[in-house]
Amino acid sequence: RDEQISTIKAAIEEKNIRFIVLQLTDIMGASKSIILPVSQIEKILSNETMFDGSSIDGFARIEESDMYLYPDLSTFLVLPWKACNGYSIARIICDVYSPNEEPFEGCPRQVLRKALEEAKGMGYEFYVGPEPEFYIFDRDEKGNAILENNDKAGYFDMAPLDKGEEVREHISLALEEAGFEVEAAHHECGPGQHEIDFKYADALSTADNIMTFKYIVRKIADDLGLFASFMPKPVEGIAGSGMHLNMSLFKDGKNIFFDPDAKNSLSDEAVHFIGGLLKHSKAITAVTNPIVNSYKRLVPGYEAPVYIAWSHKNRSPLVRVPAKRGTSTRVELRSPDPACNPYLALAVVLKAGLDGIKNKIEPPKSIAGNIYDMDLEERLEKSIDSLPISLYEAIEELAKSDTVKGALGKHVTEKFISAKLDEWDSYRKAVHSWEIEEYLKAH
Ligand code: ADP
Ligand code: MG
Ligand code: MG
Ligand code: MG
Ligand code: MG
């Protein structure tokens, strides 16, 4: 820690840092921050920065409103842009603590830490690589985001058809400057839709990285006069934005999902991890796909999963095992979208997978064919069930699942369910343009 502190202090001098952004994520997955001038660095480093937890949606009650930010010094980052007058800004991600110096149970980072501790107790390190997708839209004269862009390209297209290429370059450079190892950046299926993949890491770093990634993508798009959105389905009729999660467990530095002697070179742990994921998939969905709009993406016809099944090659099921073996052996969960709170999402998928390993849950047989081509009868015959079709259904599943509720803990479960039921209620009461179109003249 002393070493980290001296590195930070040296960077403050060298890089001309004038502001420190203390960043945290609320239960709903929104990024929150407090910006302090660098003169407050001693207070920051001695965990004395206070904030009012009750002012953050769904975070804490009035009675426990005094919260403390404990900066995780390993997340210190000089942001890849400048403040006013050319000064630099640094960012540190924080854990939230209560006044009695206990980690706050409503802090999403704490929820993930707990799940990781359980994995560690079993000898496992959990590694995750996400594939976040997003749209880049234009702004109107007033600067408001509009659902348009001058991009007519599709999957893997190249410039000049791909107008987003330049934007992606700017974003990739900023990400690299911020220490990301960008593995690939490509145009996605939708016009204006992109995917940038960065290297997998331990789950806590990956959840932090996802929050940093969204921050950087939004900021760079904004600087270019554009607007980046991670909304799961911004435009009807074209591909939604997902965030596949690639997962593996390591033991003593080795990927234990890989077993050269086993069937398909997949270890029992990998197979049982899949069994756990599939078993709990309905309840997990509430967390990995947490907004009303998430369910507009989980429909047939767009490569987003709908059915609860797994496959070695096909991209239609919920879980895919990519062909790569050795260190890259991984399980890909294809349902999550970038609206999720990554800390909570990684905690629940890990706990589901660990449950599979502990209880040796065998997944159903893997599916080779395209499930979208099967009719209902064939799916029933193969016992292929579907993911929840609405936020409400997903919340009902969550409320029934001790595994997922246990992963979130009592505090987060209560706050999450009540906020999501409010969200559903507000949606339920709204009269949508689809209804006007269908019914106004017909009735
Ligand atoms: P896809 O074939 O689904 O498009 P991508 O190549 O876009 O996959 O993304 C693969 C992701 O998986 C990257 O983030 C990569 O770092 C990650 N990954 C590779 N090996 C592992 C592993 N052993 N555990 C977890 N993630 C991994
Ligand atoms: Mg990909
Ligand atoms: Mg790729
Ligand atoms: Mg993709
Ligand atoms: Mg993928």
Question: Average pLDDT in the 358-383 region?
Answer: 87
Give the model's confidence band at 394: pLDDT under 50 very low, under 70 low, under 90 confident, else very high. Answer: very high
ipTM of the complex: 0.97
Ranking 157-161, 229-233, 288-292 by mean pLDDT, the lowest is 157-161
pLDDT in the model for residue 230? 97
In short, whether 181's Cβ falls inside 6 Å of ligand 1 is no
Asked if pLDDT for residue 395 goes beyond 70, the answer is yes
| CA–CA separation, 88 and 83 (whole Å) | 6
Residue 191 CA, ligand 1 centroid: distance in Å: 24
For the CA of 130, the nearest atom of ligand 1: 14
- Residue 252 gets which letter from DSSP? T
pLDDT in the model for residue 52? 83
Ranking 178-182, 183-187, 400-404 by mean pLDDT, the lowest is 183-187
The number of residues making up the chain comes to 443
For residue 178 the two structure tokens come to 């911020």
| CA–CA separation, 316 and 367 (whole Å) | 10
pLDDT in the model for residue 376? 85
- Residue 34 gets which letter from DSSP? E
pLDDT in the model for residue 63? 63
| CA–CA separation, 62 and 238 (whole Å) | 43
Active site residues: 52, 131, 133, 188, 195, 244, 315, 332, 334
Residue 197 CA, ligand 3 centroid: distance in Å: 7
List alpha helices for 224-280, DSSP H: 268-279
Residue identifier of the C-alpha nearest atom 14 of ligand 1: 129
Residue 257 CA, ligand 1 centroid: distance in Å: 14
Question: Average pLDDT in the 24-50 region?
Answer: 94
Average pLDDT, the chain: 92
Ligand nearest to the CA of 197: 1
pLDDT in the model for residue 158? 60
Ligand nearest to the CA of 330: 1
Asked if pLDDT for residue 154 goes beyond 70, the answer is no
SS3 content of the chain, % helix, strand, coil (to 5): 40, 20, 35
Which comes out higher in pLDDT, residue 99 or 55? Answer: 99
Residue 136, classified by CB atoms within 10 Å of its CB into exposed (0-12), middle (13-18) or buried (19+), is buried
Question: Average pLDDT in the 94-99 region?
Answer: 93
Asked if pLDDT for residue 216 goes beyond 70, the answer is yes
In short, whether 183's Cβ falls inside 6 Å of ligand 1 is yes
What is the tens place of the pLDDT at every residue in 294-339? 999 999 988 899 999 999 877 778 999 998 889 999 999 999 999 9
Residue 276 CA, ligand 5 centroid: distance in Å: 20
Give the model's confidence band at 375: pLDDT under 50 very low, under 70 low, under 90 confident, else very high. Answer: confident
Give the model's confidence band at 53: pLDDT under 50 very low, under 70 low, under 90 confident, else very high. Answer: confident
pLDDT in the model for residue 138? 87
Ligand nearest to the CA of 244: 5
Question: Average pLDDT in the 262-277 region?
Answer: 96
Asked if pLDDT for residue 160 goes beyond 80, the answer is no
In short, whether 332's Cβ falls inside 6 Å of ligand 1 is yes
Give the model's confidence band at 234: pLDDT under 50 very low, under 70 low, under 90 confident, else very high. Answer: very high
For the CA of 200, the nearest atom of ligand 1: 16
Asked if pLDDT for residue 164 goes beyond 80, the answer is no
pLDDT in the model for residue 62? 63
List alpha helices for 53-182, DSSP H: 108-121, 165-177
Residue 366 CA, ligand 1 centroid: distance in Å: 20
In short, whether 249's Cβ falls inside 6 Å of ligand 1 is no
Strands 17-25 and 88-97: parallel
For residue 279 the two structure tokens come to 């078993």
For residue 396 the two structure tokens come to 């009902």
Which comes out higher in pLDDT, residue 381 or 14? Answer: 14
In short, whether 322's Cβ falls inside 6 Å of ligand 1 is yes
**Is-contact 311 319, C-beta < 8 A?**
yes
CA distances (Å), origin 259, targets 15, 263, 323, 380: 47, 8, 13, 32
Residue among 63, 66, 68, 64 nearest 24 (CA): 68
Asked if pLDDT for residue 161 goes beyond 60, the answer is no
pLDDT in the model for residue 77? 97
Asked if pLDDT for residue 104 goes beyond 80, the answer is yes
List alpha helices for 15-140, DSSP H: 41-45, 108-121
- Residue 103 gets which letter from DSSP? B
In short, whether 168's Cβ falls inside 6 Å of ligand 1 is no
In short, whether 206's Cβ falls inside 6 Å of ligand 1 is no
The alpha carbon of 30 is separated from its chain's Cα centroid by a whole number of angstroms, namely: 11
pLDDT in the model for residue 156? 60
